[in-house]
Chains A and B, each alone.
Chain A
């Protein structure tokens, strides 16, 4: 072996060993069954995951959510007009929201979550393998907790009478034309009264009540310091009803911060009912104590994001700032998640989900197994074709190709880039493109051989002349991939990444490595004819 070749050989071997070393965690992880994974310690498994090739959400299953801070809601929360909210304020609110969401996700317990700010007012959340509905509630809930007094008896009755009267006119009739029970009380006839304080709407009437409450006529009839709010639906005696409350608009305590929130079980009338027990931080606990003392026998509504979670009657002064939210017919998960959300705190402004992409674990598994299967079949087809068409040359090209793919995967593992399903297509396409380099070289060598040059001279000329073409061809493809990388979304980015890395490596493997093998073979066996 020539000296220069020896160095190339050593370098290649070192690279190969390093590449395989990088892939060990990935292979180990693939070999583990779910059971073995469960038996491993958390740290050990995490270490393995952090060193293995990072799979995209489309392969391992998970959610990608883009949240946007609601400018209007932000204005409302700070008491400004929407156009008065500065970009700086919006950006700060986004930062705070991000911290709170991170806190919630951490407490919920998701492996490898990614939460990032995007632009000024957006947050991108990526959660591998989670229950979609729970995750949506977990990150999308504002969790603004307020305490408001419920207005009952005479005042309530007066307001209801006013609303009824307001709706008696022609406009009101048009509005309430869907109502089956009209009469002289178009509004309050839609409601059911348990006592003179607790009212609710049956499911079929709810929509109409909502419509009426939004109408300017009705709005005008409600005194400006009061508002109506819905409670949580109740299923009783085969009917579904929605409690409705008239609340004092000014909260007794607003945006209360909690020192503690925990799920609990049991309420006064149902020992199996779920609830969330909470304790206010000291500052609020003091006002809570004062308010409860001043309003004994009245009902205090616990309002979460505009919905009355519960409205217990104050039996006496509550000194330590503790209270509870009864959860009705919620599931354990919902109660547990609400406790997490309350503990982590309220978002500074409401957020809305403006983009969501999720893949279930089964489809992810399906995609991996099919993608890998298809790639292997494709690779075998290429190998067979190359070996049949180019004989020895084909064999050399295939060796280089295998090296290329090992390197590509190793680079992906080392630099923590993400492998997505289009990324697998990118690898497959790299196979095609890497082979192209060898095809160019081999066709050249054939030409040179036909022109009567010796084997050595033909190889030299073949590589030399094909090089600039290969470089041009790869550069243009990489340029297209770069554009995709910067403007594409998650999975498509994965395609661009594998294509770029794969083509870069192919410049080494398809040119230098094959050349080295040819040089070595021709010298060693002193070939006079080259089966190519």
Chain B
């Protein structure tokens, strides 16, 4: 029988909580600095409006030639990224362009027409090289605003639903600490997205909600154990009891994070570009969620208790 930890492991999580606070604050600062330096989060076309398409050529084309072709063709604000070859798709690029309201001739640039324009431009510039459009996401500015609103609603409603549940099931202080942990995890995950210069799009919203769900999940396991131990034990001090509870559930916490991590890692490595934008921040969020439920949630409860003790329930 294998065990990662001795069953009487006693790591001093609570004792070292100020180091954890310092670490978390450092992460916050890194997030804020990164977001600031990047001039805010890099929003995806889902939110800003615009077109994001993946195309591939039948024979290789250098990135700068493609960029020049699109610039010469008058495609507004183009960003180009080479995509890794797969078995089926080679010489592929991601092209992102804004939708501008500018009018050329009598035609207004409409969501649908920009795709055709790019295709025409590329067809003229690379006549012997066949261009295939693999995917295309075009979002009008109006829809972009709506999706932005929906995303905010999704995160808010998700949080509120979880909060209501947590409020019913746990005591007030633990609930508050768990909420602080949620914000902690969301903020750090946003920081990761910003530092790695990834786009924040609808998928990222799904990532955030999944991270929230997972983080709460971890906090609940620890909280359940604390509640159970509180009922039984009278001898220990409050910090000791909480530290013991964390240690008792440590094995589970680590094993679960490993299994979920393995699955996500497999997706990250083998599932291709489309999913990797999804799994990369999720992997980070998973680790940070685990960290916060071990180090942040209980520590906050302990500090609160030390400052203004509650009457211990029997």
A-to-B contact residues, CB < 8 Å = 58, 66, 68, 132-133, 136, 140, 206-207, 210, 214, 352-360, 362-363, 365-367, 369-371, 373-375, 377-379, 381-382, 385-386, 388-389, 391, 421-422, 424-425, 428-429, 431-433, 435-436, 439-440, 443, 446-447, 450, 465, 468-469, 472-484, 486-489, 492, 495-496, 499, 531-532
**Which residue on B lies nearest to A208, using beta carbons?**
B105
Tell whether, in the assembled complex, residue B157 and residue A132 are in contact, meaning their CB atoms are under 8 Å apart: no
The answer to whether B154 has its CB under 8 Å from any CB of chain A is: yes
Task: Give 17 pairs: A residue, B residue, CB < 8 Å, sorted on A.
Answer: A356-B111, A356-B138, A360-B135, A363-B89, A363-B135, A366-B87, A370-B272, A374-B272, A381-B262, A388-B2, A422-B278, A425-B278, A432-B256, A432-B264, A433-B260, A473-B217, A488-B150
List chain B residues, Cβ under 8 A from A206: 105
**Which residue on A lies nearest to B92, using beta carbons?**
A363
The answer to whether B169 has its CB under 8 Å from any CB of chain A is: yes
Interface size class of B (residues with CB under 8 A): 35 or more
Identify A374's interface contact among B86, B259, B267, CB under 8 A.
B267
Q: How far is the CA of A432 from the CA of B283 in the complex (A)?
A: 12
Q: How far is the CA of A74 from the CA of B189 in the complex (A)?
A: 46
List chain B residues, Cβ under 8 A from A359: 134-135
Tell whether, in the assembled complex, residue A483 and residue B154 are in contact, meaning their CB atoms are under 8 Å apart: yes
List chain B residues, Cβ under 8 A from A488: 150, 154, 202, 205-206
List chain A residues, Cβ under 8 A from B22: none
Q: How far is the CA of A465 from the CA of B249 in the complex (A)?
A: 13
Tell whether, in the assembled complex, residue A371 and residue B271 are in contact, meaning their CB atoms are under 8 Å apart: yes
Q: A210-B106, A358-B136, A531-B1 are in contact. Are A440 and B271 (CB under 8 A)?
A: no
Query: How distant is B180 from chain A, measured CB to nearest CB, in Å?
Result: 16
Q: How far is the CA of A367 from the CA of B248 in the complex (A)?
A: 41
Tell whether, in the assembled complex, residue A140 and residue B106 are in contact, meaning their CB atoms are under 8 Å apart: no
**Which residue on B lies nearest to A503, using beta carbons?**
B213
Query: How distant is B156 from chain A, measured CB to nearest CB, in Å?
Result: 8
- Residue in A436, A474, A481, A499 whose Cβ sees the most chain B Cβ within 10 Å: A436
**1/0 per residue B195-234: CB within 8 Å of A?**
0000000110110011011101100110010001000000
- Residue in B104, B115, B165, B260 whose Cβ sees the most chain A Cβ within 10 Å: B260
The answer to whether B48 has its CB under 8 Å from any CB of chain A is: no
Q: How far is the CA of A374 from the CA of B136 in the complex (A)?
A: 24
Query: Among B32-40, B139-147, B238-246, B295-303, which stretch is in contact with chain A?
Result: B139-147
Identify A370's interface contact among B202, B224, B271, CB under 8 A.
B271
List chain B residues, Cβ under 8 A from A66: 143
Query: How distant is B4 from chain A, measured CB to nearest CB, in Å?
Result: 8
- Residue in B142, B155, B212, B220 whose Cβ sees the most chain A Cβ within 10 Å: B220
**Which residue on A lies nearest to B157, using beta carbons?**
A483
List chain B residues, Cβ under 8 A from A140: 112
The answer to whether B166 has its CB under 8 Å from any CB of chain A is: yes
**Which residue on B lies nearest to A485, using beta carbons?**
B154
Within 137-175 of B, Cβ neighbours of A (below 8 Å) are at 137-140, 142-143, 147, 150-151, 153-155, 157-158, 161-162, 165-166, 169
B-to-A contact residues, CB < 8 Å = 1-3, 7, 54, 86-89, 104-106, 110-112, 115-116, 119, 132-140, 142-143, 147, 150-151, 153-155, 157-158, 161-162, 165-166, 169, 202-203, 205-206, 209-210, 212-214, 216-217, 220-221, 224, 228, 248-249, 251-252, 255-256, 258-260, 262-267, 269-272, 274-275, 278-279
Q: A373-B271, A422-B203 are in contact. List 14 more A-B contacts (CB 8 A).
A: A355-B138, A362-B132, A374-B271, A381-B263, A385-B262, A425-B278, A435-B260, A436-B252, A443-B255, A476-B166, A476-B217, A480-B158, A484-B205, A492-B205
Query: How distant is B209 from chain A, measured CB to nearest CB, in Å?
Result: 4
Tell whether, in the assembled complex, residue A354 and residue B111 are in contact, meaning their CB atoms are under 8 Å apart: yes
Q: How far is the CA of A496 from the CA of B248 in the complex (A)?
A: 32
Q: A366-B272, A370-B270, A388-B2 are in contact. Are A476 and B216 (CB under 8 A)?
A: yes
Q: How far is the CA of A28 from the CA of B123 in the complex (A)?
A: 40
**Which residue on A lies nearest to B140, using beta carbons?**
A354
Q: How far is the CA of A495 from the CA of B252 in the complex (A)?
A: 26
**Which residue on B lies nearest to A475, using beta carbons?**
B165
List chain A residues, Cβ under 8 A from B89: 362-363, 366
Counting from the closest, the 8 A-B pairs by CB-CB distance are: A378-B266, A432-B260, A483-B158, A487-B154, A480-B213, A374-B270, A477-B213, A374-B271
List chain A residues, Cβ under 8 A from B272: 366-367, 370-371, 374
**Which residue on A lies nearest to B158, using beta carbons?**
A483
Tell whether, in the assembled complex, residue B255 and residue A468 are in contact, meaning their CB atoms are under 8 Å apart: no
Q: A352-B110, A439-B252 are in contact. Are A476 and B154 (CB under 8 A)?
A: no
List chain A residues, Cβ under 8 A from B224: 468-469, 472
List chain B residues, Cβ under 8 A from A431: 259, 263
Q: A371-B275, A477-B213, A492-B205 are in contact. Are A136 and B112 (CB under 8 A)?
A: yes
List chain A residues, Cβ under 8 A from B266: 374-375, 377-378, 381, 428
Identify A367's interface contact among B119, B143, B274, CB under 8 A.
B274
Query: How distant is B111 from chain A, measured CB to nearest CB, in Å?
Result: 5
Q: A367-B272, A371-B271 are in contact. Are A489 and B134 (CB under 8 A)?
A: no
Q: How far is the CA of A210 from the CA of B162 in the complex (A)?
A: 58
Identify A484's interface contact among B154, B251, B262, CB under 8 A.
B154
Q: A381-B263, A472-B169, A473-B221 are in contact. Are A389 and B214 (CB under 8 A)?
A: no
**Which residue on A lies nearest to B54, using beta carbons?**
A363
Q: A132-B136, A443-B252, A484-B209 are in contact. Are A353 and B162 (CB under 8 A)?
A: no
Q: How far is the CA of A447 from the CA of B250 in the complex (A)?
A: 13
Q: How far is the CA of A104 from the CA of B249 in the complex (A)?
A: 61
Identify A477's interface contact among B119, B214, B251, B265, CB under 8 A.
B214
